[in-house]
Structure 1
Amino acid sequence: MVDYLVVGLGLAGISFCEQLQKNNRTFKVVSNNSQTSSIVAGGLYNPVILKRFTLAWNAKEQLELAKPFYAALEKKLQIKLDYKVPVYRKFASIEEQNLWFEAADKIALQSFLSTKIIKNTNNAIEAPFGFGEVLNTGRIDTNTLVKKYAEYLEGLELLEKEVFSFTDLKHTIEGVHYKSIKAKKIVFATGYGLKSNPYFNYLPLNGTKGELLTISAPELKEENVIKSSVFTIPMGKSLYRVGATYKWKDKTNAPTIEAKEELLKKLDTFLKCSYNVIDHKAGIRPTVADRRPLLGRHPEHNNMFVLNGFGSRGVMIAPYASGVLLNHIEHNAPLPKEIDISRFTKKYYTPIA
């Protein structure tokens, strides 16, 4: 018998597995990579909401945990994951410059917003009002992380690559029994797959579809992330990730012509060089109405837990949230009210007959 059965191996599942190993807990993982949001994500860690020049929820604490977390994974897996890249917010007017300076004066934002306006020197970009630089930013190669971490677990015989079958999950006095796996506790970290989970699908996980393009633009020669109406993220070898869209009705992982046209229309408002679209991907972000994660224990099954709802900031939130959840399970530490699923239980949960 293992201590934990973890279902899902995106950013949430990987982060929780790392917490388990750090705390000498045994585990097995079941995952089939059906939820692609961690794989297709842009992977940016950016503490500032650039639409409003405000600090993202709990961003400082999350960032302080995330940086050493990914550094440890790089060392453990012998791969490069963390690319330190500045984020430049393109100003649309003098008024936006002034709003930036007002935000930079706030104590919470002083360590994240540069007070120097950066003049545009790239002829391939139209930015007459220059840029503001966000500090302490970067990009995690989430695609490589998910792939290599799965290989790592396979090498330890800890990963079952299959669709999780709820009909094969049995509750026992000791915990749970899933096929040949016996575990004391089970944690679901399945992203938008939560919607098909009969134990936790009462939670208001909305899901927001995001689509990203990869373009080849040899003339662009830009090493910074540019944030205008869309992000352009340098990926090396003249390749750039462009995104992302936010759609609430379409819940498929299929790329759409409409999203591609929307992204290219926005890109063309500031990009002045030629480019070719070479890839187009989509995924469903696990978003929640109140924009806070979903952590906690099932209302009736004491050995069943959920780790979900990271939205578009999974790179930053996952290391923090996984540690908070394990501390809650192992040491009965209270969960912060704003992320505890109990905030929804009374309103949405129907007791099991």
Structure 2
Amino acid sequence: MKNVDYIVVGSGLAGIMFCDVLMQHNKTFVVVDDGSQKSSMVAGGLYNPVVLKRFTPVWKSKEQLELALPRYKALEKQLDVQLDYKIPVYRLFASIEEQNNWFLASDKAGLSEYIKPEIHHIKNTSIKNDFGFGKVLHTGRIDTTALINAFKNELRNNHQLIENPFDYNAVSSNQDIVNYNNIEAKHIVFAEGFGLKQNPFFNHLPLKGTKGELLTINAPKLNIDFVLKSGAFLIPLQNDNYIVGATYEWEDKTNNITETAKNELLEKLKAFINCDFEVVNQVAGMRPTVIDRRPLVGQHDTNKHLFVLNGLGTRGVMIAPYVAKQLFEYIENGIEVDSEINISRFNN
């Protein structure tokens, strides 16, 4: 029988950042994950404090970034891998009205430190940019694939990773402890992403799930070193490769790539670039999205050893460290979880 403080189910962004908190506080844990959930692996990984469709601030963006960026820096050192790529985000304006809305937004509370009342003009014949660009400050990209692969390798080396499906029927508990197969723990934290739909303890929660697909293109003549947002995001990689994304599909709950999504992204892309390119890859994953666009964090109603950390949606790299800390502080110190993300909001 193995004894640990925590069993963490899932090794996407939510699970990894909760493990990061556990390591900071010298807690013992094991992770159970079968690799079935792909959303963190196919994420664009942007951290951007501005909703660029409406020019509004992201929920608690300042608190999230102040917590998240030092943690990713620490993980870079711990895992000996580059994760944080500082890169500006430019919003391509489609009209004078959008320019005016940008100027108005720059005076709003929560936005003034991230956007300035300036229009940038970039000479690039591969981009249709008659109305210029707005630049977002304090942005970048976390390489989520590198993070997950490196973190899971460390777990394997430390014999902390069980690479099997989680067997919910093997969970039993008494007043002091929860048992899972040959493991005794104080707590189980479920951070399974869309896999939560199969979880009998928490599948009553309104996790909708939104399928997202991304393309990778090779475009030697595009020649940009910033993230470009228009009808789609265009994220530069290396060797003239760029991520194009993402789609939002509410009905299809599979991880299969589709021709429909590919055509949708290509149509959006061709609306704002006019150079030749080649599609070199396409990936799909289910984002764990919630009806009110807030995460799911909290404790099971009757089994007090069981907790959920889920629903990170489309901004996982920003919000994961924030919600991980919220849950840890609740479990260990009794500090109430923010009411906007606490699963108790769905009790009524």
1:324 aligned partner: 326
Structure 2 residue identity aligned to 1:256? T
Within a 5 Å distance, the mapping from 1:124-135 to structure 2 comes to: 124-135=126-137
2:191 aligned partner: 189
2:339 aligned partner: 337
Deviates more, 1:63-72 or 1:160-169: 160-169
1:222 aligned partner: 224
Aligned mate of 2:248, from 243, 246, 249: 246
Structure 2 residue identity aligned to 1:25? K
1:7 aligned partner: 9
User: How many Å separate the matches in 2 of 1:84 and 1:115?
Assistant: 22
2:91 aligned partner: 89
Cα offset, 1:115, TM superposition: 2.1
Instruction: Determine helix, strand or coil for the equivalent of 1:107.
Output: coil
User: How many Å separate the matches in 2 of 1:220 and 1:335?
Assistant: 45
8 Å Cα contact 1:299-1:345 kept in structure 2: no
Cα offset, 1:345, TM superposition: 2.3
User: How many Å separate the matches in 1 of 2:231 and 2:126?
Assistant: 16
* Per-residue CA distance 1:69-123 (angstroms, 9 max, x = gap): 1000000000000000000000001110010000001132111012221103111
User: How many Å separate the matches in 1 of 2:109 and 2:168?
Assistant: 48
Structure 1 residue identity aligned to 2:298? G
User: How many Å separate the matches in 2 of 1:114 and 1:38?
Assistant: 31
* Per-residue CA distance 1:15-65 (angstroms, 9 max, x = gap): 000100111111111011211000000000001000000001111100111
Within a 5 Å distance, the mapping from 1:1-353 to structure 2 comes to: 1-346=3-348
Deviates more, 1:105-114 or 1:23-32: 105-114
User: How many Å separate the matches in 2 of 1:15 and 1:33?
Assistant: 17
Structure 1 residue identity aligned to 2:208? N
Cα offset, 1:12, TM superposition: 0.2
1:349 aligned partner: none
Structure 2 residue identity aligned to 1:197? N
Q: TM-score, normalised by structure 2?
A: 0.98
Cα offset, 1:189, TM superposition: 0.3
Cα offset, 1:336, TM superposition: 1.1
Instruction: Determine helix, strand or coil for the equivalent of 1:282.
Output: strand
1:350 aligned partner: none
RMSD: 0.8
* Per-residue CA distance 1:259-291 (angstroms, 9 max, x = gap): 000000000001111111010000011000111
User: How many Å separate the matches in 2 of 1:247 and 1:259?
Assistant: 9
Q: TM-score, normalised by structure 1?
A: 0.97
Q: Return 5+ residue gaps in structure 2 as ranges.
A: none
8 Å Cα contact 1:112-1:135 kept in structure 2: yes
User: How many Å separate the matches in 1 of 2:134 and 2:35?
Assistant: 37
Structure 2 residue identity aligned to 1:10? G
Deviates more, 1:101-110 or 1:249-258: 101-110
Deviates more, 1:318-327 or 1:169-178: 169-178
Q: Give every structure 1 segment of 4 or more consecutive aligned residues whose post-TM-superposition deviation is greater than 4 Å.
A: none
Instruction: Determine helix, strand or coil for the equivalent of 2:41.
Output: helix
User: How many Å separate the matches in 1 of 2:197 and 2:116?
Assistant: 41
User: How many Å separate the matches in 1 of 2:31 and 2:305?
Assistant: 16
Cα offset, 1:169, TM superposition: 1.8
